[in-house]
A = this chain, B = another copy of it.
Amino acid sequence: MTVQPTRDRRAERREATRAEILQAAWELAREQGLGGLSLRDIAAKIGMRPPSLYWYFDSKHAIYDAMFADGNRQLLERLDAVKLPRDPRAALKRYLGAFMGFALEEPARAELLFQRHIPGFTPSPESYALAEAALAGAVKVIGEAGVTDQGDIDCLVAMTAGLMDAQMSNDPGGNRWTRHLNRLVDLLVDDAITGSTHG
């Protein structure tokens, strides 16, 4: 009976190269925008020829998909690390604020995760599940703040996304829109709560 190797060095190496490709892709996306990402540049950055990338990814979209999953994992990690105040309302503000901070700190990442910017790209179900997990986290905090009606939740989410989008598009690096987050959260949550008690 042969001794089972405790590590699969080949798989480790393969995974390491995959990670290297993704890292190069992220760097290039940061440098020259998400749309200007080319397989040739990625390959060049890690000392490869473009076709070799196909050993690790099925297509360019597969790379985008891996980046999408990657970004959402970063988001989940960030949101998990947020220290939430006891007060549910304050917790909600902190949570959504962290979300916005995450989105704004890396435009290319936000472009991939929150805007539909790559023509023809749709996240795979597995990757999209990560995005839904992040949304589910938000819904949980929203619920703890007393907002449970789906319509009210939709409003909160859309409003947050609207602020984030306007901020990214029109005033990146500033706070012209983000500064209104807390006020709008109060407004919507108050209205949702009083509305629900009235039946």
A interface residues (Cβ-Cβ under 8 A, vs B)? 33-36, 115-117, 119-120, 151, 154-155, 157-163, 165-166, 169, 176-177, 179-180, 183-184, 187-188, 191
Contacts and interface: CB of A to CB of B under 8 A. Distances in A.
12 contacts: A115-B116, A119-B119, A151-B180, A154-B166, A154-B176, A155-B163, A155-B183, A158-B165, A158-B180, A159-B162, A160-B162, A161-B162
Contacts of A35: 119-120
A36 B117 contact: no
B159 A159 contact: yes
Contacts of A161: 162, 165-166
A165 B166 contact: no
The A interface is mostly helix, strand or loop, or mixed, namely helix
Contacts of A159: 158-159, 162, 184
A117 to B, nearest CB: 6
B117 A116 contact: yes
Contact of A180 (B116, B119, B155, B177): B155
A184 B169 contact: no
B162 A163 contact: yes
A170 B155 CA distance: 13
When A and B form their complex, which 8 residue pairs have the shortest distance between CB atoms, in order from nearest? A162-B162, A35-B119, A158-B162, A158-B166, A158-B163, A161-B162, A155-B180, A159-B159
A155 B184 contact: yes
